[in-house]
Amino acid sequence: MTVKPGIYEHYKGKKYEVLGIGKHSETLEDLVFYEAQYKNELSQLWARPVKLFTDEVEVLGKKVPRFRYIDKDK
């Protein structure tokens, strides 16, 4: 699955901006680099394997995307 740059909503409701895809320096695994669109004390920038970014999670017995594409603009 391709992850395009833009704004995504996490299944818990927070918004993130995907900046792009990069490679893990040792495994060459594709990683999604994204930025929290809210003040986050732990970090503003995050990286997650594409497989985990695009997978589904179960919420109240229903499978939903972990991150849902909203738009390319904030």
State yes or no: pLDDT of 1 exceeds 80.
no
Residue 66: per-residue pLDDT: 97
Note the CATH number of domain 6-71: 2.30.30.320
State yes or no: pLDDT of 56 exceeds 60.
yes
Domains of the chain, residue spans: 6-71
Nearest to 2 by CA among 32, 29, 38: 32
For the segment 4-23, what is each residue's pLDDT rounded down to a tens digit? Answer: 999 999 999 999 999 999 99
Q: pTM score > 0.85 for this model?
A: yes
State yes or no: pLDDT of 2 exceeds 90.
no
Close Cβ partners of 1 (under 8 Å, ≥ 6 residues apart): 50, 54
